[in-house]
Chain A
């Protein structure tokens, strides 16, 4: 049986892992390789690295650290940040990343999803979506969230974007629920359930994890394939081994911790 994936997310800025609250006020958590090795050893199932300022600054991810991470990791990892073309993606994948995740550039030019799927296969192509509920009750996407000053609210409904991305050949969706991000009150089950209902490819929950109960709830109630979290792992308040034991007690299939 396929395991539910637990995915520490490492936001990268200036070669360091950082963490913000509601996408702002970032503090340095440590060196990239140090944290990558720690999560590998603790039994993480996969890692995601977001170069959070690449897109707003109009540049792509730095290939050098991708290669260093690829050398030490024996679990899969995904890289995101300013990937705007098949050539940008090729550099990252050839440096050793298993998947690339695109967000703002895909919103600017949705055809990019199809181009990447054709060049590397759908299984390499992840679309990250930053989503927030508007005053009218609709979830809509945000663009360039790595820089609070540059962030834009788009008229595009989150659920419509998920449908469109699948039509274009996406292999996985990461739904960042910005309303719950960084405040540890639990995943946005309602929004994730709505996304799950229309998402036939793997769906990863992001934003809001504060304790083991939140992971149990998001797997049991929103049927997501994986759950991504940052601060709850970074500060050591939730250990991978303990989390996996808690999930297994609830009969949620997970990979054996290392």
Chain B
């Protein structure tokens, strides 16, 4: 099985690659369309700002590749946010693989932004195969200041002030707002589910 990491310039590329290595999977970086289309599984990590990441994907001519990809695609953190139609962060059009918009999280008394730390995943809607082996209330590591609202593709929510989409899935397109590469056994299981090696 060929797994590639899309090089959208995110700072967590290394940590995601190491997490896959701990699962026995070697995933090279890919920055050209052919390599991405030839892979069996594609992972889009991301740390940073949405507008900068979209600009980099445009520069590499990867926007259409990712819009039309017919392989399982996993977006992580900012990578998940890019799967939606639009992000308020830099007011930028994203990949549009999922319906919905990404918005800035609002601080309220006792609710600090960025949302940083371990928080609970709550199953949402029908059981998703991508969440096999991950218990209701399992804790995962989040670091973000923007989030997508709960929508049709949401399979797990998380609450920080308001509920937001923590894991999304629509067909073969999957997204995790948390960092599976830094979420202990819970994150490892999500990656294994995505790779079909659980």
Say yes or no for B120: interface residue by CB 8 A criterion: yes
Interface readout for A20-62 with B: 1 if CB under 8 Å, 0 if not? 0000000000000000000000000110000000000000000
Q: How many residues of B contact A (CB 8 A)?
A: 38
By secondary structure, the A interface counts as loop
Contact B18 A70 (CB under 8 A): yes
Contact B159 A94 (CB under 8 A): no
By secondary structure, the B interface counts as mixed
Residues of A within 8 A of B55 (CB): none
User: Out of B18, B110, B114, which one reaches A71, CB within 8 Å?
Assistant: B18
Known: A70-B18, A74-B181. Contact between A94 and B114, CB under 8 A? no
Known: A3-B139, A70-B14. Contact between A45 and B116, CB under 8 A? no
Residues of A within 8 A of B151 (CB): none
Residues of A within 8 A of B15 (CB): 70, 96, 98
User: Out of B19, B117, B179, which one reaches A225, CB within 8 Å?
Assistant: B117
Known: A94-B13, A98-B12. Contact between A76 and B119, CB under 8 A? no
Say yes or no for B21: interface residue by CB 8 A criterion: yes
Contact A98 B182 (CB under 8 A): yes
Say yes or no for A65: interface residue by CB 8 A criterion: no
Contact A75 B184 (CB under 8 A): yes
User: Out of B49, B117, B181, which one reaches A5, CB within 8 Å?
Assistant: B117
Interface readout for A168-193 with B: 1 if CB under 8 Å, 0 if not? 00011000000000000000000000
- Of B60-68, B95-103, B140-148, the one contacting chain A is B140-148
Which of A2, A71, A73, A76 lies at the interface centre, i.e. has the most chain B CB atoms within 10 A of its CB? Answer: A2
User: Out of A74, A93, A201, A223, which one reaches B114, CB within 8 Å?
Assistant: A201
Number of residue pairs spanning A and B whose beta carbons lie under 8 angstroms apart: 103
User: Out of B11, B117, B184, B188, which one reaches A258, CB within 8 Å?
Assistant: B184
User: Out of A45, A95, A223, which one reaches B117, CB within 8 Å?
Assistant: A45
Say yes or no for A146: interface residue by CB 8 A criterion: no
Say yes or no for B112: interface residue by CB 8 A criterion: yes
Q: In the assembled complex, how far is the CB of residue A67 from the closest CB belonging to chain B, in whole angstroms?
A: 7
Q: How many residues of A contact B (CB 8 A)?
A: 40
Contact B114 A123 (CB under 8 A): yes
Residues of B within 8 A of A5 (CB): 117-118
Say yes or no for B107: interface residue by CB 8 A criterion: yes
**What residue in chain B is nearest A89 (Cβ atoms)?**
B11
Q: In the assembled complex, how far is the CB of residue B42 from the closest CB belonging to chain A, in whole angstroms?
A: 21
Which of B114, B117, B179 lies at the interface centre, i.e. has the most chain A CB atoms within 10 A of its CB? Answer: B117
**What residue in chain A is nearest B120 (Cβ atoms)?**
A1
Say yes or no for B115: interface residue by CB 8 A criterion: yes
Q: Which of B146-198 contact A (CB under 8 A)?
A: 159-160, 179, 181-185, 187-188
Q: In the assembled complex, how far is the CB of residue B73 from the closest CB belonging to chain A, in whole angstroms?
A: 22
Excluding A74-B188, A123-B145, 4 further A-B contacts by CB distance (< 8 Å) are: A1-B119, A75-B141, A201-B112, A202-B112
Which chain B residues have a beta carbon within 8 Å of chain A's beta carbons? 11-15, 18-19, 21-22, 47-49, 107, 110, 112-120, 139, 141, 143-145, 159-160, 179, 181-185, 187-188
